[in-house]
Amino acid sequence: MSGEYASTLVTDETTLGERVASTVIGIGLLVFMLSVLAVARVVTEEASVLGVGLYDFLAGGLLAMGLGVFVVGVGSALGAFDTTPDETPGTVTAGAFGIIAAAAVWLATLQLGVLGPLGGFPVGLLAGAVTFVGLGLLSEDIGSTLPAVVVAVAVSGTVLTNLLTPAWLWDPEWLSAAFSGSMTIPTLTAAAALLTAWAGAKSYGGYGSEGRQAGAYLLVALNALGMLAVLLAVILFIVTKGIGPAFEGFSLYPFDWPFVLNGYSFRPDVVNGVFPAIVGTLYLVVGATVTGVPVAVAAAVFLTEYAEQGPFVGAVEIATNGLWSTPSVVYGLFGYAFLVPRLGGTTSLLSGILVLGFMLMPLCLITSREAIKSVPDEYRDASAALGVSQWETIKSVVVPAAMPGIVTGVILGVGRIAGETAPILLVMSGGLRDDAPNVLGSFEFTSAPPFVANDALLQSAPALPYQLYATITSGVSAENAVEYGWGTAFVLLVVVLSFYAVGIATRMYFRRRLNHE
Amino acid sequence: MSNTTLNETERPDDPDERTTTVGESEETIQPSWRQYHFDGDSKISVSGLDVHYGDDHALKDIGMEIPEESVTALIGPSGCGKSTFLRCLNRMNDRIRAAEIDGEVSYDGENIYGDGVNLVELRKRVGMVFQAPNPFPKSIRENVSYGPRKHGDIRTGFFDRLTGRDDREQRDRIVEESLRKAALWDEVKDRLDENALSLSGGQQQRLCIARCLAVDPDVILMDEPASALDPIATAKIEDLIEQLAEEYTVVVVTHNMQQAARISDQTAVFLTGGELVEYGDTDQIFENPNSDRVEDYITGKFG
Amino acid sequence: MLGSTLFGRLPRLERASGLSTKAAAMLVVLSLSLFATFALFLLNSPLAAVPLVAFVVAVAYGWVAHQDVTARVVTLIATTSTIAILGLITVFIFYRAIPAFRVMGTGLFGFTDPVTVFGVSLPAVETFWSTGSNTYSLVPMIWGTLVTTAIAMVIAGPLGIAGALFLAEIAPPMVRDAVKPGVEILAGIPSIVYGYLGFVTLNTFLFENLRMSNLGSLFLVGLVIGLMALPTVVSVADDALTSVPASMRDGSVAMGATEWQTTKSITLPAALSGVSAAVLLGIGRAIGETMAATVIIGHSQQLPQPLADVFASTETLTSLIASQYGNADGTHLSALFAAGVVLFVTVLVLSVGARRVELRMEKKLGGDP
């Protein structure tokens, strides 16, 4: 019965074609990674691998890949390997190679200086269109390997024949940048290696639907890996740069941590620290939480428990989304126009608190509403069936049940506003200083309205993110301004990411507990 | 009428294997399913199948021969593992995170849990219809032609049109044929380009059957295909299952014993704990079961 | 004003207020004092503290004596405050932008040559941005925002969606469980930290290795913003992809389609609106991103010559506001508010658009029984 099917259910062990293809992918990954490191100038053209110059090594690897893909592609077309290619490589593959061909031809006309910058454009387009249609008419195994082979051989050829050397320079008049060979060569080899490895992965899967899957998965997995690597590198870079300055003079016993516990004294003999900024950020965060969160939770309660879907709720939803997405600098402008003139006429801690509170409100409103919505109706019904009033039910059943979600939302929201710079730049500012703002000790009663005064609240105060900005713009007078900046960046990163980590961990904990019960 | 078991004729080495896999259950009485004999060829043969979900032992040492071109019903109380068993037959359990599967399931004599099995090929041959209708949010035509298009049997791409390989006519033929087999053609022939989600629940389920037939499988697995439908739609699906058995091997999970009695040729009874307690001709199972537990279950004393 | 909508809208409240004159009096005091506080604060009077105290007292009394009604009213006031805040933002930034519109007219969007855009002819301006001649045209900044956003989305869009595909469709459960929270944490890195990194290291790196004529370019700003937006796009797109019912994927896989075919033909199209909402969200973030642009860019309020020169040092709307607010007054300050208006309106339109797209997706998948 199984004879009526074209392909077999059980396939044998690895074939020769698969082995060649996997070798191509392996070399491709190596060439790609080395090329990326070369673009980042971590390794340069002066380095040598196995006795060969780095760039020649990359080109050689690319040539080997091209040959390998040529063998599997042509081998498949001649029937030497057991593959299941489609009749056409498909519009996406043909289109992608068409775009590559168009770009290559256009850049080549620019390089050769013929036809002018715009004259080469139609020629490039024509080349792209011809490539697109031409590839589409080939069978899948040839149509998706041959162009990759051409790219690999072309790139490695220009490097190996010294047509393109590290000393080469392209300085177009219409760009404020110039491209040197030492940057261009690894960029090209990285792209070509990726393309050829993709063709290799497709061959490894035997073309057809599984070949496409293999090719796509290679690229998607590489993208995910690369993305994580870059983002982790960003964090690691800041940590390695910042951990030194941040822990200068640190001792566990007797406990001393000058960078965190000192102010900025402008004295060369003392470690300058960020203590005032930490205190300022603390006041900002606590103040914004106190002003923003209760309003947000109250509104979330009203929207889920009292209000019925209608134009009012619709308008509130639009307003919430609008507030949620309003750029922080616009909040800053708003605070500058609305709060600052009404709160003492100068930039002040209180304005900063209120603006950040306004920003925090929509963030917490959305998450609290979700949390309250997800409380099962059975809870409400059970409470109502016992004759408990609606507000009692909300107070003693609904809100406690939604508490984990609300708390998570608040933590994540606070994490976001703790790192905000743009709004406090406009409404609070506050430079480097030696002493921390003392809000709690500055309350005074006065005879004139508003009868209470607090100088510390109505003065500008330092905050971590703004301090980092100030380090950049003013260039702190001390010699080690850059180190001081890295230290501040490190502390800020630790503060903000801790909020996020705690928030996400809380959410995961409660979600898991919910799933188990 | 050959009353020899397939185990003895086709797989002489199996009894030994069973001794090693079953181990201590050797002493216990041989369950009646071991002795089930039927006419015709076996399509799927299962032996020593164990499934664990983490610590939960969901299926225990299942063995079963499923004859071709017939309807086999799997019945039992909920949580007895009948759906798990069904999903082992096309390896859909592979997609479940914690599932651990041991034993052998052979399709036309080839072990689908062996090395180098092509899952795409397997699932082309062993189609599946799910408990709740799950049409794709696409048009009816696209739903039915989805399988053949994905397997490259029908080509309608840009370059296929360019080179005159366009298979639109063949696609429409397959769509019509599959919808007719699924007894849905007359109801939808004028609105093939409408979204499949606009159909009623019963129509959606028949669309899912048509979608499955379009791939031209040998075996169709159905996981409680009528449990989400009203009685009229259920009756239509039941008629359809009986018709399909003329051409296909149908394995259907149901919790409805009357349904199993109406539509199936043979019935396997799973009871709580993931055991296959009895397997035999449907008439025999319902009229004269060997096992007291099965009798209790069928007469409603135990569920 | 507040009281009348309340009583009209909420029958239960009507009944409750009918029960007790004390509660009704409390509500009147409460709403009047709130209104007075707001009005006096708007008029910049220190007397605003007086009605504020009255409001607090009324709420406190209500909380003790009539908790049910008070809770309902207080939560309603909190809800209304969302609309009020958005309204205040709109009014204040538009109001402060009016002088610039009055001085410049449509010249606020004028080029150095008179041009006609969408049938509106824009007058010529001598220079784009000059406090000396009191000329302010936002065109170079709009162009800068447009280019940086485009570069950022070319990076964050495709790579972000591919990253989400990896998390939702390919990654083994263990990898997913570890990476997803990691990505969400990465979304929290403050923009000023990225800015510092760009300012201290990347700016000089590109300056040396691309032999640039200036520090800070639209290209680098776009690159950094794209990197910043990446985790957000990944996280939101992943949520959209995982919200596609598993039964749909099972249906496709059970027919022998490969996982990739299932992703391409079933999951991605079904999640398309959610995924595009993720990209729109990313665009909104990129447009509004301030600090990274402010510290990296070179602050020259000129159009790049030629326009295609993405390595030129120019300005974006956000960096314009952040860098000039300190020494601006009069029309100059008003022009900064005009830049804020352009930002605010653009992002608001995008956010409403994204929400619509999301609602459509919910409806589409919700119609699936």
Query: Where does residue A506 rank: exposed (0-12), middle (13-18), buried (19+ CB within 10 A)?
Result: middle
Q: Which residue has the higher pLDDT, A134 or A507?
A: A134
Given a cut of 90, whether residue A50 has pLDDT beyond it is no
Q: pLDDT tier at A516 (50, 70, 90 boundaries)?
A: low
How many angstroms away from the CA of A213 is the closest CA of chain B? 12
**What pLDDT sits at residue A377?**
84
User: Do C351 and C248 reside in the same domain of the chain?
Assistant: yes
At residue A42, the pLDDT reads 87
Q: Please judge whether A235 and C284 are an interchain contact, meaning their C-beta atoms are less than 8 angstroms apart.
A: no
- Looking at residue B143, its pLDDT comes to 92
Asked whether the CA dihedral B170, B172, B175, B180 is positive or negative, the reply is negative
Answer whether residue B31 shows pLDDT above 70. no
What b-and-e string marks burial along A215-254, b requiring 16 or more CB atoms within 10 Å of the CB?
Answer: bbbbbbebbbeebbeebeebeeebbebbeebbebeeeeee
pLDDT band at A278 (very low <50, low <70, confident <90, very high): confident
User: How far apart are the CA of C84 and the nearest CA of chain A, in angstroms?
Assistant: 9
**Global pTM?**
0.85
What is each CA distance from B234 to A418, B132, B137, B241, B256, in whole angstroms? 59, 13, 23, 11, 11
pLDDT > 70? residue B13: no
Quick one: tokens of A218? Answer: 């290679």
Calculate how close chain C gets to A253, using CA atoms only, in Å. 31
C251 min Cα distance to partner chain A (Å): 17
**Mean of pLDDT values over A266-293:** 83
Q: Domain A275-474: what homologous superfamily? A: MetI-like (1.10.3720.10)
Contacts of B160 in chain A (CB under 8 A): 87-88
C130 within a domain of the structure (yes/no): no
| Mean pLDDT calculated for residue range A426-442 | 73
pLDDT of residue B257: 86
pLDDT above 70 covers a percentage of chain A that reads 90
Query: Could you tell me the CATH number of the domain that includes residue C278?
Result: 1.10.3720.10
Q: What pLDDT shows up at residue C3?
A: 43
The pLDDT value recorded for residue A36 is 92
Average pLDDT of chain B?
A: 81
Residue B121 with chain A: CB contacts under 8 Å: 5, 7-9
Which DSSP category does C267 fall into? Answer: I
Mean pLDDT in residue range A415-424:
87
Q: Taking 50 as the threshold, does the pLDDT of residue B17 lie above it?
A: no
- Token couple for B35: 């002795």
Mutation site, B124, B159, B165, B216, interface A, largest A CB count within 10 A: B159
| Encoded amino acid at A105, one letter | V
Do C98 and C152 sit in the same domain of this protein? no
pLDDT at A298 over 90: yes
From the list C71, C165, C311, the residue facing A176 with the nearest CB is C311
| C1 has pLDDT over 50 | no
- Residue B4: is its pLDDT beyond 60? no
Distance from C-alpha of C236 to C-alpha of C277, rounded to nearest angstrom? 8
CA distance C180 to chain B (A): 17
- pLDDT score recorded for residue B174: 92
| Domain membership flag for residue C152 | yes
pLDDT tens track for A347-400: 888 899 999 999 999 999 998 998 898 888 888 888 888 888 888 888 888 888
- Could you read off the pLDDT of A198-249 as tens digits, one per residue? 999 999 888 888 889 999 999 999 999 999 898 888 899 999 988 888 887 7
In the three-class reduction of DSSP (H, G, I as helix; E, B as strand; rest coil), residue B62 is classed as strand
Please check the confidence at residue C290 and state whether its pLDDT lies above 50. Answer: yes
Of A139, C266, A70, A219, which Cα lies nearest the Cα of B152? A139
Residues of chain A contacting C268 with CB distance shorter than 8 Å: none
pLDDT of residue B7: 38
How far apart are alpha carbons B215 and B298 in whole angstroms?
A: 36
Q: Is the pLDDT of residue B303 over 70?
A: no
pLDDT tens digits for range B99-115: 888 888 988 888 888 88
Cβ–Cβ below 8 Å for C252 and B133: no
Identify which of A82-91, B11-20, C150-159, C182-191 has the greatest average pLDDT. Answer: C150-159
Contact: C193, A493; criterion CB under 8 Å: yes
Report pLDDT for C93.
Answer: 92
Is A43's pLDDT higher than 70? yes
> Which pLDDT score is estimated for A447?
66
pLDDT tens per residue across span A436-471: 677 776 677 766 666 677 777 777 778 888 888 888
Dihedral in degrees, nearest 10, Cα atoms A299, A305, A309, A314: 10
Q: What is the mean pLDDT of residues C264-273?
A: 88
Query: What average pLDDT does the segment A175-195 reach?
Result: 90
pLDDT score recorded for residue C260:
92
Q: What is the nearest CA distance from A155 to chain B, expressed in angstroms?
A: 29
Domain boundary among C52, C81, C102: C102
Question: How confident is the model at residue C39, as a pLDDT?
Answer: 86
Nearest to B116 among A11, A86, A210 (CB): A11
In chain C, the number of structural domains is 2
Chains in contact with B via at least 3 Cβ–Cβ pairs below 8 Å: A, C
- The angle that helices A311-325 and C272-288 make with each other, rounded to 10 degrees, is 50
Q: Would you list the domain boundaries of chain A?
A: 13-89+138-234, 275-474
Model confidence band, residue A280 (pLDDT cutoffs 50, 70, 90): confident
Q: Would the pLDDT of A337 be above 60?
A: yes
Within this chain, do residues C88 and C149 fall inside the same structural domain, yes or no?
no
State whether A2 and B160 contact (CB < 8 Å).
Answer: no
**SS3 sequence, C299-366?**
CCCCCCCCCCCCCCCCCCHHHHHHHHHHHCCHHHHHHHHHHHHHHHHHHHHHHHHHHHHHHHHHHHHH
Instruction: Identify whether C127 is part of a domain.
Output: no
Q: Is C166 found in the same domain as C58?
A: no
pLDDT at A437 (0 to 100): 74
Task: Check CB contact under 8 Å for A328 and C290.
Answer: yes
Residue A127 has pLDDT above 80, yes or no: yes
Cis before B225 (ω within 30): no
According to the model, what pLDDT value does residue B24 have?
39
What's the mean pLDDT in C108-113? 78
Confidence of residue C367 (pLDDT cuts 50, 70, 90): very low
Cα-based angle A380, A386, A391 (whole degrees, multiple of 5):
50
Q: Cite the DSSP H helix spans in A180-250.
A: 181-204, 208-246
Contact A210 C214 (CB under 8 A): no
Residues C51-76: tens digit of each pLDDT:
888 888 888 888 888 888 888 888 99
Closest residue of chain C to A493, computed from CA coordinates: C189
- CA dist list (Å): A93 to A140, A146, A202: 10, 12, 11
Residues C30 and C169 occupy one common structural domain? no
Cα dist from A409 to A325, A327, A362, B292, C20, whole Å: 16, 20, 11, 57, 38
Q: What is the mean pLDDT of residues A331-340?
A: 91
Question: Measured between beta carbons, which residues in chain B are less than 8 angstroms from residue C254?
Answer: 90, 92, 123, 127-128, 130, 212
Q: How many CB atoms lie within 10 A of CB A445?
A: 7
Residue C236 pLDDT class (50, 70, 90 cuts): confident
pLDDT band at A403 (very low <50, low <70, confident <90, very high): confident
- A504-508, B204-208, C13-17: which is most confident: B204-208
- B131-180 pLDDT, tens digit per residue, is 888 898 888 999 999 998 888 888 877 888 888 777 888 889 999 999 99
**Based on the domain organization, do C96 and C147 belong to the same domain?**
no
Residues C2, C31 contacting (CB under 8 angstroms): yes
* Residue at a domain's end among C102, C126, C152: C102
> Do residues C200 and C332 share a domain?
yes
Chains that touch C (3 or more CB pairs under 8 A): A, B
The answer for A90, left when phi > 0, alpha when psi is -120 to 50, beta otherwise, is: left
The reply to whether B69 touches chain A by the CB within 8 Å rule is no
How sure is the predictor about A190, in pLDDT bands with cuts at 50, 70 and 90?
very high
- The ipTM is 0.87
Nearest CA in chain C to B204: C369
State how far the Cα of B157 lies from the Cα of B143, in Å rounded to an integer: 17
CB pair distance less than 8 Å for C166 and A221: yes
Q: Can you tell me the mean pLDDT for C154-175?
A: 91
- Which range of residues forms the domain containing residue C15? 2-102
Domain boundaries, chain B: 6-135+199-298, 136-198
pLDDT: which is higher, A255 or A362: A362
CB within 8 Å: B152 and A90: no
Domain over B6-135+199-298 is classified CATH 3.40.50.300:
yes
